[in-house]
Amino acid sequence: MRIIRVAGYEEMSSRAADVIAAQLILDPRSVLGLATGTTPVGAYRLLVEKNRRGEIDFSQVRTYNLDEYRGLSHDDSQSYHYFMADNLFKHVNIDMANTHVPDGSDPDAESACRAYDAMVEEAGYPDLQLLGIGNNGHIGFNEPAEGFPVGTHCVDLTPSTIQANSRLFDDPDDVPRQAYTMGVGTIMKSRRVLVLASGAAKADAVRAMCYGPVVPSCPASALQLHPDCIVIADEAALARCPEE
Ligand code: F6R
């Protein structure tokens, strides 16, 4: 794991956008694994600007998002599909047919998850997987558990995740209780992983991810075993980590 310490959210976003841009410059046909949430929004904004300036080209890029709420259709404004269109896809020259998010509207969890696994496998897995981290150490929606899930599966969101995500809903009761998420096994198959973390609320999770034991009670700790994992985190998120 390589840890890049930055001052704050803006610098984290700028470094992250540079890493993603470098990936697209080196391989314009890249497969990107993407995340939603507050953390990557700044990096997405900078990627839009780079695309507008002609510095990066999304025309041949394929994307696979980590997760989607179960029960929300693609055009629901709270869905992760909608979030991605709003924050990135509709502002860059990507072919929407090349963007993929698990189908939350499919009530058949088994078939939705198997279909998504097949798509990600056929794409050859992400060249670069972007991740945020939950306050409880989750990645994607792989919540603390007894084991590391391998493929895409349906999860019951924990009370702490429902609480953390309720800020994005008008009514906390509207937060879906389940989601479809790529497994830790799939995330580990990406050739490079880029984890972003900002803010004091992430400090315990970041310490557990980088310096704790590799245990499924902190799903992000599995990334210690990834051969090419970069963590870009700010001072507040690294506050409980040793200064190297
Ligand atoms: C989102 C995702 C989640 C978030 C995590 C952090 O697609 O997979 O693991 O990355 O919940 O969320 P934020 O960035 O909102 O703190």
**Domain residues of the chain, as ranges?**
2-234
pLDDT at 117 over 80: yes
Q: Distance between CA atoms of 165 and 46, rounded to whole angstroms?
A: 24
Average confidence (pLDDT) over 60-86: 95
pLDDT at 160 over 90: no
What's the confidence (pLDDT) of residue 168?
83
pLDDT in tens, 133-146: 999 999 999 999 99
Question: How far does the centroid of ligand 1 lie from the alpha carbon of residue 126, in Å?
Answer: 18
pLDDT range class, residue 243, cuts 50, 70, 90: confident
pLDDT range class, residue 206, cuts 50, 70, 90: very high
Q: Distance between CA atoms of 105 and 75, rounded to whole angstroms?
A: 10
What's the confidence (pLDDT) of residue 164?
86
Instruction: Answer yes or no: CATH 3.40.50.1360 is held by domain 2-234.
Output: yes
The residue nearest atom 11 of ligand 1, judged by CA position, is 134
Least confident of 4-13, 26-35, 55-64, 151-160: 151-160
Cα of 107 vs its chain's centroid, Å:
23
Residue with tokens 């080196």: 26
pLDDT range class, residue 67, cuts 50, 70, 90: very high
Residue with tokens 């924990």: 158
**Residues designated catalytic:** 67, 136, 138, 143
Question: How far does the centroid of ligand 1 lie from the alpha carbon of residue 219, in Å?
Answer: 13
What's the confidence (pLDDT) of residue 80?
96
What's the confidence (pLDDT) of residue 129?
98
Percent of the chain whose predicted confidence (pLDDT) is above 70 = 100
In DSSP terms, 80 is beta-bridged to none
Ligand 1: which residues within 6 Å by Cβ?
Answer: 35-39, 66-67, 132-134, 138-141
Average confidence (pLDDT) over 88-112: 97
pLDDT at 244 over 80: no
Residue type present at position 130: L
Average confidence (pLDDT) over 1-5: 98
Question: How far does the centroid of ligand 1 lie from the alpha carbon of residue 37, in Å?
Answer: 4
pTM of the model as a whole: 0.97
